């Protein structure tokens, strides 16, 4: 057995996945980043500074919450929610941005670039850049700029430049390409904050480590609250950062099952979805080898999800490995199921979840009823739903 907790190897491989498939000009900067990160990772001063920021700026630890009403209604397992929605800026993305910003400062960089789809990672990047007085350019597809106006405005209020991307489908995949291009030409003064566990090594490892605070806290909290480990973890998977953050500290607990929930969109058979692990195959995208949605000629497919944060044709390489090894299971939830779960959590618990997180809630609802009342499901509530008011209203055909 390979020890999954020490993955990846020094070249960023998780089994056959991951790696560094980039232009020659990026190899050296990525090696320097990996070296700097390897030093910081074990530097007590860096760790203390990161912990202080997580506590005083992000608001950690985030609580876990026993969703008693929802559990009672379902009549099966007890559902606990890890409340990443209570973080500053409203989701788990800030955990990673705080960490990478500290690294940027250490490396003496003056400028931050980032890519964003729904705008959540763009907002978190603009937030940490404002705080550290760094210049910030956020690449965003023109389609996403249109459908995510409030987050575009937020980024501008925080002093960031939103750079429209007009190529391809004008969404996240295209924004990522543009950000990588910018980085190649401005390597000396620029730090590229990638928002999920994708991209070339060391990003999948680095982002995982910064998000693993979710699972470390949750493991202690559930033990303190219930005296036992959960029977299963459930998290939504876009690029996979909130899921791997929850899963990773539990990988060595064989009794804990893990479910990653992809966006099933209009159903896997419709072809309109964003579920590369459930319905894709291995290939190379954005600097790493992983499961993808691509045609036989290697062309990347158009993806669809009601939630912009899950609308991505690839997934982090560590998830590809966890799927093949069988340690984690990956399932898909449709737009409709996610919307139903969204409303149910609003009404049962008084919590308005993000549409992304609603996919995880939907999976918990599916599983809980056939389980016993002394069993535990721990669900990552990756973000709050304030940003999704317009999407919900549009989907339900009701005016805002």
- 313 sits near ligand PLP (criterion: CB under 6 A): no
Closest approach, Cβ 122 to ligand PLP, in A, equals 10
Count of Cβ atoms closer than 10 Å to residue 213 Cβ: 22
- 388 sits near ligand PLP (criterion: CB under 6 A): no
Kindly write out the interface string for residues 88-107 of this chain, putting x where it contacts ligand PLP by CB under 6 A and - elsewhere. ---x-x--------------
CA distances from 250 to 27, 224, 258, 292, 328 (A): 32, 16, 9, 26, 11
Closest approach, Cβ 126 to ligand PLP, in A, equals 14
- Tokens 């998000």 -> residue: 211
Give catalytic residue positions.
93, 115, 382
**Binding test (CB under 6 A) with ligand PLP, winner from 305, 357, 358, 363:** 357
Determine the interface stretch with ligand PLP among 37-45, 297-305, 320-328, 349-357 (rule: CB under 6 A): 349-357
- 354 sits near ligand PLP (criterion: CB under 6 A): yes
Determine the interface stretch with ligand PLP among 11-19, 155-163, 237-245, 329-337 (rule: CB under 6 A): 237-245
* Beta bridge mates, 106: none
- Gap between the Cα atoms of 71 and 88, Å rounded: 28
Q: List b or e across 343-370, with b for residues whose CB sees 16 or more CB atoms inside 10 angstroms.
A: ebbeebbebbbbbbbbbbbbbbbbbbee
Triad 126, 354, 86: Cα angle to 5°: 65
Would you call 212 helix, strand, or coil by DSSP? coil
**Binding test (CB under 6 A) with ligand PLP, winner from 95, 334, 382, 391:** 382
- 260 sits near ligand PLP (criterion: CB under 6 A): no
- 60 sits near ligand PLP (criterion: CB under 6 A): no
**Binding test (CB under 6 A) with ligand PLP, winner from 122, 199, 276, 309:** 309
The beta strands (E) that lie in 180-315 are given as 190-193, 232-236, 257-265, 281-285, 288-292
- Residue whose CB is less far from ligand PLP, 287 or 309: 309
State which H helix or E strand residue 105 sits in.
Answer: helix 93-106
- 196 sits near ligand PLP (criterion: CB under 6 A): yes
Instruction: Kindly determine how many residues on this chain lie close enough to bind ligand PLP according to the rule CB under 6 A.
Output: 19
CA distances from 133 to 153, 159, 160 (A): 19, 10, 11
- Residue whose CB is less far from ligand PLP, 93 or 219: 93
Strand 17-18 with 13-14, pairing: antiparallel
- 125 sits near ligand PLP (criterion: CB under 6 A): no
**Binding test (CB under 6 A) with ligand PLP, winner from 76, 141, 230, 238:** 238
Chain residues in the site for ligand PLP (CB under 6 A)? 91, 93, 120, 196, 236-243, 309-310, 354, 356-357, 382-383
């Amino acid at each position: 057995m390979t020890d999954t907790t020490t993955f990846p190897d020094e070249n960023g491989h998780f089994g056959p996945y991951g790696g560094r498939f980039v232009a020659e000009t990026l190899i050296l900067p990525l090696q320097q980043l990996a070296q700097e990160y390897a030093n910081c990772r074990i530097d007590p001063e860096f760790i203390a500074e990161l912990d202080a920021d997580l506590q005083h700026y992000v608001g950690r630890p985030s609580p876990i919450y026993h969703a008693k009403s929802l559990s009672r209604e379902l009549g099966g397992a007890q559902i606990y929610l890890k409340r990443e929605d209570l973080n500053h800026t409203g989701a788990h993305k800030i955990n990673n941005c705080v960490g990478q910003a500290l690294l940027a400062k250490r490396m003496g960089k003056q400028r931050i670039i980032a890519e964003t789809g729904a705008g959540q990672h763009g907002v978190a990047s603009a937030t940490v850049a404002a705080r550290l007085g760094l210049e910030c350019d956020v690449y965003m597809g023109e389609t996403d700029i249109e459908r995510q106006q409030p987050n575009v405005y937020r980024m501008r209020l925080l002093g960031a430049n939103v750079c429209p991307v007009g190529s391809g489908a004008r969404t996240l995949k295209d924004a990522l390409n543009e950000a990588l291009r910018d980085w190649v030409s401005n390597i000396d003064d620029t730090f590229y904050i990638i928002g999920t566990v994708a991209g070339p090594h060391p990003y999948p490892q680095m982002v995982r480590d910064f998000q693993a605070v979710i699972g470390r806290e949750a493991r202690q909290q559930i033990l303190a609250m219930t005296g036992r480990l959960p029977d299963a973890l459930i998290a939504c998977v876009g690029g996979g950062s909130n899921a791997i953050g929850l899963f990773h500290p539990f990988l060595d607990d064989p009794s804990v099952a893990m479910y990653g929930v992809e966006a099933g969109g209009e159903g896997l058979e419709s072809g309109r979805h964003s579920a590369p692990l459930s319905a894709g195959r291995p290939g190379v995208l954005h600097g790493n080898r992983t499961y993808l949605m691509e045609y036989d000629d290697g062309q990347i497919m158009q993806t669809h999800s009601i939630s912009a944060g899950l609308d991505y044709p690839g997934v982090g390489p560590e998830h590809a490995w966890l799927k093949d090894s069988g340690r984690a299971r990956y399932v898909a939830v449709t737009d409709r199921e996610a919307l139903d779960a969204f409303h149910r959590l609003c009404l049962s618990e008084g919590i308005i979840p993000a549409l992304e997180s609603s996919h995880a809630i939907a999976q918990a609802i599916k599983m809980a009823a056939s389980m016993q009342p002394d069993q535990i499901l721990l669900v990552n509530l990756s973000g709050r739903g304030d940003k999704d008011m317009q999407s919900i209203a549009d989907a339900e055909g009701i005016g805002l």
